[in-house]
Amino acid sequence: MTAPAVAAPGPGRLARAAAAVATVAVVLVLLYPLLWILASSLRSAGEAATGLSLWPREFTWSNYTAGWSGVNGVGFGAFFRNSTVVAAGAVVGNVVTCLLAAFAFARLRFPLRRFWYAVVIGTLLLPQHVLMVPQYMLFRELGWLNTALPLIVPKLLATDSFFIFLIVQFLRSLPENYDEYARTDGASPLQLFRHVILPLSRPAITATAILTFIWTWNDFFPQLVYLPMVEDSTAPSGLHQYAIAGGLSAPGPMFAMCVLSLLPVLLFFVAFQRLLTSTSTTSGRMAAHLPRPRARR
Amino acid sequence: MPVAEQPVARLWTKPLPLPHRRPRRSLLHRESVAGYLLLTPWLTGLAAIIVAPVLYSLALSFTDYNVITGELDWIGLANYERMFTADPRYWRSVQVTVVFVAVSVPLKLVVAFAVAALLNGRRRGAGTLRALVYLPSLLGVSVALAITWRTMFGSGGAVNQVLGMFGVPDRSWATEPDTALFTLILLAAWQFGGPMVIYLAAMRQVPADYAESARIDGASRWRILRSVTLPTLSPVILLTVVMETIAAFQGFTAAFVFGDGGGGPEDATLTYTLYLYLRGFAGLEMGYASAMAWVFLVAVGALTGLIFWTSRWWVHYPGGRP
């Protein structure tokens, strides 16, 4: 265990106490909005919805049942179903195709490899909004508007280059003599992948799957463009339409639906927070923190 | 120690070398075939979903194209001319975006660094604290939080009640033209958990004896921070500056929700991407939107290049440039 490094609190007790107080204060302020949504979702209609308090005067679950009925006859059940379809497709697409591409970049030698990898890095820096008009016209030509295809097919084609980068970094950190042995034994690239790389890549695969899920679940912009109909809406765009259609006059149910729409992300986070925020593991290190340059944020 | 548990924060600071071995010829051939086979989905996507659309949008930017009627007129540079000389809303969106990026990115990164320094060295509860502080960065981009933020910063909302205790008169921070962008910036800065975790991981890699020997030489904590921690972390800081800047340029969801999809109040939250959306998808001016997209691409690219260029003066790589 290396000693805590540079900016660690000094030896003084006072300094340490001050740091502790500051830490607790920071965390409380940070989490206040989240606790506040939860409180607001449980307030009864009689209580002012905008209050400061985190403790409803009277707890009620009725906001949840009221909000669940949704907008224009389309309930939140449908929104969650749509979100799940999109997120599941994106997860499968990203994991499979980005893993394959990353394996090729990190472990195989072929002509122009460095060039193509530079292209991967380049697309990582490409603002996604530059693509939105022409992609829309492409998908429109293909007759894919009002379907989930524009949200899923690009992932099946590994266009989320962030994850290629992520997995390549992970694979490069694995000792190379593993594949050296496999090669001397005459293993084919496929066997190398199947028997050496795949089993070792679990953390990178998990990180890819979790982050894809969370980001896709939160995505708003592509859904707005490609799935504008209420009945096709995903949870975020359904929530947005719900808020417009009258959420402000009935804030309790609106905040109840806010809570529900955040819940899947929260659950995944709780289950995998170690992987996502660890500062010492490869996958955690790589995975969590890079904000992706992408449109949907 | 399982493979995955190795600390490899240096991944960020130094690209790992690619293998150098020269394999047998047949093997090389086999690997080439396999390599390109595995890259097929990515290459297809690159060509069909990225390169072709980017070029197509360049061509579109010289046209007046109505996506509904299918009418397409070649109008040369007219879109660009109109954008730069006859569209005040365009300049408004540029202004909003520049302010948003120039304030939110430094704010977010400074807070991230400060909190990382605060958490670094804690042993008890460190993992839990890190997770709690990180959480907003996952949830903050959602529609739900944008709605919440607007209510909390609205008239009679939680923020006003706290400020009211200090005698600040009630106002709707989120929907008044003077302050709406500021609340958006706060929402962005609230999501500092992402860069914070990167800084924390990088701080753990700073050799403790650097700081120790500086301390023995009588350096103050501030001096150690400035002369040891910051230079050592500079490659990671460069990375976060680039990524956060590009991300901030693309802020959309919160601006869309705040302004009811129109950039209001008085275009105070009309970010560039939101205006691009309004022109292209609400106004169906695909040619004009494409011209906007290309200017955006060039501007963001130039800024990214500029940041990398300045890095020669403030980024220090261990053992020289890679």
Asked if the Cβ–Cβ distance from B297 to A126 is below 8 Å, we say yes
User: With the CA atoms of B200, A160, B277 and A222 taken in that order, what torsion angle do they form, in degrees rounded to the nearest 10?
Assistant: -100
What 8-state DSSP symbol labels residue A244?
I
Predicted pLDDT at A115: 95
- pTM above the 0.90 mark? no
Predicted pLDDT at A295: 36
The set of residues, in sequence order, having a beta carbon less than 8 Å from that of A115 and lying 6+ positions away, is: none
Look up residue B47 and give its two tokens: 């060509």
Nearest CA in chain B to A10: B221
Show residues of chain B in contact with A237, CB under 8 Å.
143
Predicted pLDDT at B3: 34
Predicted pLDDT at A248: 65
Separation between Cα atoms, residue B236 and residue B163, nearest integer Å: 37
Instruction: Select the residue of A5, A158, A277 nearest B130 (Cβ to Cβ).
Output: A277
Q: Are B245 and A293 in contact, with CB atoms under 8 Å apart?
A: no
Strand partners, B66: B285
User: With the CA atoms of A87, A93, A95 and A100 taken in that order, what torsion angle do they form, in degrees rounded to the nearest 10?
Assistant: -170
Domain that holds residue B121: 80-144+187-314
A119 touches chain B (CB under 8 A): yes
Instruction: Select the residue of B38, B127, B154 nearest A100 (Cβ to Cβ).
Output: B38
Asked if the Cβ–Cβ distance from A104 to B224 is below 8 Å, we say no
Predicted pLDDT at B248: 94
Separation between Cα atoms, residue A206 and residue A204, nearest integer Å: 5
Q: Burial level of A258, CB count in 10 A (0-12/13-18/19+)?
A: buried
How big is the A-B interface in CB pairs under 8 Å? 377
Residue type, A234: T
Q: For residue B21, is it within any domain?
A: no
Partner A, chain B 83-142, Cβ-Cβ below 8 Å: 115-123, 127, 129-139, 141-142
Predicted pLDDT at B203: 85
Q: Are A291 and B194 in contact, with CB atoms under 8 Å apart?
A: yes
Asked if the Cβ–Cβ distance from B152 to A36 is below 8 Å, we say yes
Angle between helices B286-314 and B230-249 (to 10 degrees): 170
- ipTM more than 0.95? no
Separation between Cα atoms, residue B200 and residue B223, nearest integer Å: 19
Show residues of chain B in contact with A258, CB under 8 Å.
144-145, 147-148
Instruction: Select the residue of A31, A103, A136 nearest B132 (Cβ to Cβ).
Output: A31
B219 touches chain A (CB under 8 A): no
Predicted pLDDT at B213: 82
Q: For residue B233, is it within any domain?
A: yes
Asked if the Cβ–Cβ distance from B57 to A130 is below 8 Å, we say yes
Helix (H, G, I), strand (E, B) or coil at A229: coil
Map out the domains of chain A as residue ranges.
13-60, 76-287
**Distance in Å, alpha carbon of A234 to nearest chain B alpha carbon:** 11
Per-block mean pLDDT, blocks of 10 residues, chain A (297 long): 44 78 86 92 78 81 88 90 96 95 92 93 88 92 94 93 89 79 79 88 90 93 91 93 80 92 93 76 42 38
Q: For residue B163, is it within any domain?
A: no
Residue type, B285: E
Predicted pLDDT at A195: 86
What is the total count of domains within chain B?
1
Q: For residue B170, is it within any domain?
A: no
Question: Does the pLDDT at position B296 exceed 90?
Answer: yes
Helix (H, G, I), strand (E, B) or coil at B17: coil
Best residue of A120, A285, A286, A296 to probe chain B, by most B CBs closer than 10 Å: A285
Best residue of B1, B124, B147 to probe chain A, by most A CBs closer than 10 Å: B147
Over residues B1-22, mean pLDDT = 42
Over residues B258-266, mean pLDDT = 82
Separation between Cα atoms, residue B280 and residue A134, nearest integer Å: 10
Asked if the Cβ–Cβ distance from B253 to A225 is below 8 Å, we say no
Residue from A44, A109, A133 nearest B54 by CA = A133
Instruction: Select the residue of A159, A291, A294 nearest B244 (Cβ to Cβ).
Output: A291
Best residue of B61, B72, B135 to probe chain A, by most A CBs closer than 10 Å: B135
Partner A, chain B 30-49, Cβ-Cβ below 8 Å: 30-32, 34-36, 38-39, 41-46, 48-49
Asked if the Cβ–Cβ distance from A266 to B139 is below 8 Å, we say yes
Output the furthest CA–CA distance in chain A (Å, rounded).
Answer: 75
Show residues of chain A in contact with B211, CB under 8 Å.
5-6
What 8-state DSSP symbol labels residue A2?
P
CATH at residue B294? 1.10.3720.10
Angle between helices A13-42 and A251-277 (to 10 degrees): 140
Q: Are B206 and B229 in contact, with CB atoms under 8 Å apart?
A: yes
B246: left (phi over 0), alpha (psi -120 to 50) or beta: alpha
Cite the beta strand spans of B54-208 per DSSP E: 63-65, 72-74
Q: For residue B114, is it within any domain?
A: yes
Partner B, chain A 232-261, Cβ-Cβ below 8 Å: 236-237, 239-240, 243-244, 247, 251, 254-255, 257-259, 261
Q: For residue B150, is it within any domain?
A: no
Instruction: Write out the DSSP string of A66-85.
Output: HHHT-BTTB-HHHHHHHHHH
Predicted pLDDT at B50: 94
**Model confidence pLDDT, tens digit, residues B202-225:** 888 777 777 778 878 888 878 888
B2 touches chain A (CB under 8 A): no
Look up residue B262 and give its two tokens: 């129109």
Separation between Cα atoms, residue A30 and residue A11, nearest integer Å: 27
Residue from A152, A126, A125, A130 nearest A139 by CA = A152
Separation between Cα atoms, residue B100 and residue B269, nearest integer Å: 9
What 8-state DSSP symbol labels residue A129?
G
Where helices occur in chain A by DSSP H, the ranges are: 13-42, 62-68, 76-93, 99-107, 113-124, 132-141, 149-156, 161-172, 177-184, 189-191, 198-200, 202-218, 221-226, 235-242, 251-277, 282-287
Show residues of chain B in contact with A289, CB under 8 Å.
194-198, 201
Predicted pLDDT at A21: 86
Asked if the Cβ–Cβ distance from A7 to B224 is below 8 Å, we say yes
Q: How many other C-beta atoms can be found within 10 angstroms of the C-beta atom of residue B320?
A: 6
Look up residue A274 and give its two tokens: 């170690």
The hierarchical CATH code for the domain A76-287 is 1.10.3720.10
Partner B, chain A 127-146, Cβ-Cβ below 8 Å: 127-138, 140
Q: B241-260 burial, b if ≥16 CB within 10 A, otherwise e?
A: bbbbbbbbbbbbbbbbbbbe
Q: For residue B200, is it within any domain?
A: yes
Higher pLDDT among residues A248 and B137, named by residue: B137
**Model confidence pLDDT, tens digit, residues B153-176:** 988 788 888 888 888 888 888 888
Predicted pLDDT at A11: 57
Separation between Cα atoms, residue B265 and residue B172, nearest integer Å: 11
Helix (H, G, I), strand (E, B) or coil at A288: coil
Q: Are A214 and A275 in contact, with CB atoms under 8 Å apart?
A: no
Helix (H, G, I), strand (E, B) or coil at A111: coil
Show residues of chain B in contact with A94, CB under 8 Å.
none
Q: For residue B280, is it within any domain?
A: yes
A28 touches chain B (CB under 8 A): no
Question: Does the pLDDT at position B302 exceed 90?
Answer: yes
The fraction of chain B above a pLDDT of 90, given in percent, is 47
